[in-house]
Chains A and B, each alone.
Chain A
C-alpha cells in the first residue's frame, strides 16, 4: 500500500483560532476513511486543507506520488444557489471533467464519454436531460457523485453527503459509496454526522474533538474509550 496523503502534526485554524491540532494520520490507496466529531471540531476545515483550499496553520500535508491536488474528486455540501439552478444533469456531470482540461475551452468527445460512463455507473443515465433543480435530494447527490467521479480516478472527498436525506436514501448512498470504494478502488474520505453508519461502512475512523483525537481502524475505534463513549455502547449491526 502506498500512502496517498500523509498528515504530520497538522493544526487547523478558523478565524485565527486553533480548532484542531496534532493531527497525524495516513490515508492509503483504497482506504475508506470517515471523519467524525462534533460541530466546530474542524472536520470541514480539515477537508478544505486536504483539497488545498486552505493552508494548515502548522504541520505538513504531503501528497503521495502521482496524486495531484486537482485530481481529488469532491462532493461539497449543497448550497442554496444549486437547489434552484437551471442546468441539465449532463451539464452538471460534465463540469467534473473541467479539472483535467487546463486552458482548453471546450470539452472533447472523450470527456463527454467519461461523463456518460459515470452516469451509467451511478444509474442516472435516464435522468440525463432532466433539470437538476427538479430532482429529489438523493438523485441530486448521485449527480454530484458522478461529477466528482469525472474529476478523479483515485480519491473522493465527501462532505456530509447524507445530510437532509431520508434513512432509505441515505443507506442507498452509503452502499453506492462503498461500491465506488470496493469496485473501482477509489479511496474515500467522508465527513459524517452519522457515527454509527460511519463505523459500519468505513475501514478507518478519524475522530476530531479537541483533546480526544482518535485515528485507527473502525474495529479499533469501536473498542476505544472515545469510540465507546460516542457510539453509546448499545450499537447493533
Chain B
C-alpha cells in the first residue's frame, strides 16, 4: 500500500491531479450542500455540459481552455438561475435544454476541427493527464477564493438556504447570495470537469451532501462531513484508478456511491435505535 502511494506520488502529473482534485472536491462538497437543499442539484449538471461546449470551442480556436470556459460557465450560471426563477419556463426543462444544446454544439465543433476521437472521450469522462502547471496554479487560486468566500458568507448562505423569504424580509440580499453560490459552483465545475469529465463532475456536488445528510443533524455537521467525505472519496478513487488502471472520474464516482450506500445504512440503523 505504502509502495503504491509513493509510486503514485513520484509522477508529477498525478501529484498535480491530486492537488487540484482535492481542492475541487472540497469546494464542490461545500457548495453542494446548499445547492442540493435548495433543489438546485441539476444546475451543477447543466453547468458541466455547458462547460463541455466551451472547452470544445476553446480547443478548436486554440485558446487557453480555462480562460474561455470559466467566464462562459459563470455567465451560464447567471442565466440558469434566472430561468429557474421565472414562472414561464420551468427550471428543470430550461437546464435540460441548455445542457443538451451545449453538448451538441461542442460535439459538432470538435468533429469539424479535429475529428471525433480521444478529445471527446477525455472531455466527457475526464483525464488525469489534463492538468498543466499553469492549470494547477489557476485552480489553486480559484479554489482558495471559493473557500474564502464560502466561509465568510457561511451564515448568510445558511439563512438563504433555509428560508429565503425570511432572509429577504430581514434585509439579506438573497439574490446576491444565490448568485454567489451559483458563480462559485460554476468556477468549481469548470476546474473539476477536465479531470472528472463533463458527465461525472456534478456527482462531486451532489453525492457528498446527500451522503452526509443521511447521518448528520445540523447544518454545520452536514457541511463539515461533506467536505471530509468528498476529499477522502476522491483520494480513495484516485488510488483505485491507478492501481486497477481505471478511469479516474468514474472511480471517484463509484467510491462516492459506495460511501453513500454505507451512510444510508448507518442512518437507517441510527434512526431505528
Contact = CB atoms under 8 A, between A and B. Distances in A.
Interface of A: 51-53, 69-70, 72-74, 76, 79, 81-82, 85-88, 91-92, 95-96, 98-99, 105-107, 129-131, 134, 147-148, 151, 157
A91 B220 contact: yes
B165 A76 contact: yes
B216 A151 contact: no
Interface of B: 37-39, 151-156, 158-159, 161-163, 165-172, 213, 216-222
Contacts, number: 87
Contacts of A70: 169-171
Contact of B162 (A95, A130, A131, A148): A95
Instruction: Please give me the 10 A-B residue pairs with the lowest Cβ-Cβ distance, nearest first.
Output: A70-B171, A99-B170, A131-B217, A88-B218, A87-B219, A74-B169, A51-B169, A95-B159, A76-B165, A105-B152
A23 to B, nearest CB: 20
A134 B217 CA distance: 9
B159 A98 contact: yes
Given A81-B37, A98-B159, A131 B218 contact: yes
Contacts of B161: 81
Given A81-B39, A91-B219, A99-B172, A76 B166 contact: yes
A72 B169 contact: yes
Given A76-B169, A107-B155, 14 more contacts: A53-B165, A70-B169, A70-B170, A72-B170, A74-B165, A81-B161, A86-B222, A87-B162, A87-B219, A96-B166, A98-B167, A98-B172, A99-B172, A129-B218
Given A53-B169, A74-B169, A82 B163 contact: yes
Contacts of A129: 218
Nearest to B151: A105
Residue among B153, B158, B222 with the highest chain A CB neighbour number at 10 A: B158
A130 B217 CA distance: 8
B95 to A, nearest CB: 18
Contacts of A147: 166
Contacts of B163: 76, 79, 82, 95
B170 A151 contact: yes
Contacts of A105: 151-156
A81 B166 contact: no
Nearest to B87: A15
A134 B165 CA distance: 22
A91 B38 CA distance: 17
Given A74-B169, A76-B163, A98 B156 contact: yes
A87 B158 contact: yes
A151 B171 CA distance: 10
Contacts of A99: 170-172
B218 A87 contact: yes
B168 to A, nearest CB: 6
